[in-house]
Amino acid sequence: MTEPEMSYRTLGVEDLRSYLADQPALAAQLGGAPADWRIEEVGDGNLNLVFILHGPAGGLAVKQALPYVRLVGESWPLPLSRASFEQTALVRQNALVPGLVPKLLHFDEALALIVMELLQPHKIMRHGMIAGTRYPLFVEAITDFMAQTYFHTSDLALPAAEKKELMGVFAGNHALCKITEDVIFTEPYEIAENNSWTSPQLDGIAAALREDLAVKLAVSRLKVLFLSQAQALLHGDLHSGSIMLTEEDTRVIDPEFAFVGPIAFDVGALLANLLLSYFSQDGHETRPGDRDDYRAWILDAVQGCWTRFEEKFLDLWRSPAAQGDAYPKVLFADAQAETVLEVERQQVMAALFKDTLGFIAAELVRRTLGLAHNIDLEWIEDPDRRAACEASALGLARDLLVAPEAITSVSALTEAAATWRLWSPPLGASFTPELW
């Protein structure tokens, strides 16, 4: 047992009050006497405790890692070191994209405790989308986050030695990577204790995917990319539950799954969760068509996220910031060489888009058949309506896994999503692939 684990204890409300009272800078930020502080545990995620604190002078957000998966319990232990990886990722992200992640105020490694600025009046994006809220600045903010963090931690920007050191810093976060490897790329395609779905409506589809060799081969290839392609520092869990925002401000939170991996994994997770919200809107509208405009906004956001990310990433690659050891400038110094390199850039982004399609599919499947479902769908009370939304998402997922060559652009992706959304299975039936 390491020293941090020996001194670790889970903090309750009063424990946290006493702890912060002994931290002068943090106590001053809250103001008043400790007895005046209002503390609430609000964690609704899968792993950690999250506290919101309000004092006469201001507020704080506090996150403490638990030594197990909160969603499951003590039968699934997890190392506390994940808090250190999250803290390290936040430091790097704050340096690269200040104003797009929370400010880090305090870190206690022994307690696996992170203190950050309190984001107010920000809401978790997933909650806002269930309510039909539009975020006009979201696309520009999130694509800034992605382009800047991925490019500046890649071989396009970093010398090889510095990139390898970065890989080493996050290599120890393998326990959380293992969660991803299992719950996204393996368990949904086998009989697994962690799996769940809307039953009996999706029983047939779940069984069919478990028997579909083309699907299992495609998702296994994606797992190989996840295991082996160390392109850039990723958030590792980038979805609408890891984004807090208002109509004017966007912040990316919770990078505890951070590791150096394939860029398409993060991009795919983000786009998949937007698409899950798109499919779920049929279950949240009070009358058919009530949310047509909002559905259109979501598909515009999907297109904007890929298009603006691609544009910004390519602009960085073309800029003086491209000083990394990949594609050395000395080899492409004249106009003819630059023309050849530009063709290569376009081909690299096309390959990244193809990989993104696969990771979108894997996320759609795991959020409907595996562990840790989305409230976008779970909050649809009528199981038939919920299952219809989920079946459409799964139909798109299978297409993206077995025939990605049919989707040659992000507009083709959103068109395919719109087509699958209009597919109407008979309510109350056990949906099967034949119905697709």
Block means of pLDDT (10 residues each) for the chain, length 436 residues?
64 96 97 96 82 97 91 82 97 98 97 97 97 98 98 98 98 96 98 95 93 97 98 98 97 97 98 98 95 98 98 98 96 94 98 98 98 95 94 96 96 97 68 60
For residue 70, the model assigns a pLDDT of 75
pLDDT, position 2: 46
Bond prior to 328 in cis (omega within 30° of 0): no
Q: Which amino acid is at 120?
A: Q
Q: Hunting for tokens 């989920």 — which residue is that?
A: 390
Provide the pLDDT for residue 432.
62
Residue given tokens 């001053």 in the structure block:
28
Output the pLDDT for position 433: 61
Q: In a 3-state reduction of DSSP, which class is residue 39?
A: strand
Cα–Cα distance for residue pair 242/240, rounded to 1 Å: 5
Give the residue among 201, 222, 157, 180 at the shortest CA–CA distance from 82.
Answer: 180
pLDDT of residue 423: 83
Q: Please provide the distance, in angstroms rounded to a whole number, between the alpha carbons at the two ends of the chain.
A: 52
Rounded Cα distance, 56 and 29, in Å: 9
pLDDT at 7: 87
pLDDT at 100: 98
- Helix (H) or strand (E) run with residue 233 in it: strand 232-234
**CA distance readout (Å), 415 to 364, 396, 405:** 17, 11, 15
For residues 80 and 69, give the distance between their C-alpha atoms in angstroms, rounded to a whole number.
11
Residues 6+ apart with CB under 8 A from 100: 93, 141, 144, 145, 250, 251, 252
Question: By the 8 A CB rule, do 378 and 52 touch?
Answer: no
Q: What is the pLDDT of residue 1?
A: 39
Closest by alpha carbon to 354, among 314, 411, 399, 400? 400
Please tell me the distance from the alpha carbon of residue 241 to that of residue 234, in angstroms, as a whole number: 16
- How many other CB atoms sit within 10 Å of the CB of residue 109? 17
Name the residue among 206, 210, 219, 183 with its Cα closest to residue 402: 219
Dihedral sign for Cα atoms in the order 136, 249, 42, 259: positive
Determine how many CB atoms are found less than 10 A away from the CB of residue 195.
17
Q: Is the pTM of this model over 0.85?
A: yes
- What are the pLDDT digits (tens) for 222-253? 999 999 999 999 999 999 999 999 999 999 99
Tokens encoding 6: 């020996």
pLDDT of the residue at 4 = 46
Establish how many alpha carbons lie within 13 A of residue 422's alpha carbon, considering only the half-sphere containing its beta carbon: 6
pLDDT of residue 146: 98
Task: Say what the pLDDT of residue 74 is.
Answer: 76
